Amino acid sequence: MSVPAVQRKALRSDVPQIEALMRRSVLELFPAFHGERETASAAVHLTVPDVVLIDDGTYFVHEADGQIVACGGWSRRDKLYTGSGAQPTDDRLLDPATEPARVRAMFVRGDWARLGLGRATLSSCARAAKAEGFRALVLMATLPGEPLYRAFGFREVRRTGVPLPDGVVLPGVSMEYPLD
């Protein structure tokens, strides 16, 4: 960490680095919260970059020394999280007046965790979603991310299971954050 990480909007050319970061983040951070099978499943099913977020201009990366060390974003579309499998309404645009924007795909490299990058990403998401008229953010937290979201001000809506395509069910927390 010789230089500070700089936040910018993600580009399509970042996808290979984003995917590698997502996998590394899961493999480094999930074992403190999950067993070996859950970690292995999450490393496969939760680490597929969603290029729709990049194309929509709502996905951010933090870069240091030419490496992406954190990523995350928000969406004005119906999909809540990667790993849920394709749903017919995933690409439906949300109504900012009546529906919350989604926080999506937040990952940080283990050696960059707890340095404010997640908070900076959430702040950027909140500002951008509010500027588009959204009144709230929602997300599905995995256990490693829950402390960050609570510290930022998200509140728990309910505890649930996050089913992955291979039959593994990760514990998850549905959370929301008001933008007004």
Q: How does the average pLDDT of the chain come out, rounded?
A: 93
Q: What is the pLDDT of residue 90?
A: 64
**Facing residues of 103 across strands?**
74
Whether the per-residue pLDDT at 81 is higher than 90: the answer is no
DSSP secondary structure letter of residue 168? -
**Band (91; pLDDT cuts 50, 70, 90):** confident
Span 128-153, average pLDDT: 97
Whether the per-residue pLDDT at 83 is higher than 70: the answer is no
What the block records as the tokens of 168 is: 């593994």
Whether the per-residue pLDDT at 114 is higher than 70: the answer is yes
Q: What is the pLDDT of residue 78?
A: 85
Span 88-106, average pLDDT: 89
Span 92-107, average pLDDT: 95
Q: Output the pTM of the full model.
A: 0.93
Whether the per-residue pLDDT at 86 is higher than 70: the answer is no
Sheet-wide strand order for 59-64: 6-9, 59-64, 67-75, 101-108, 136-142, 169-178, 155-163
Q: What is the pLDDT of residue 157?
A: 98
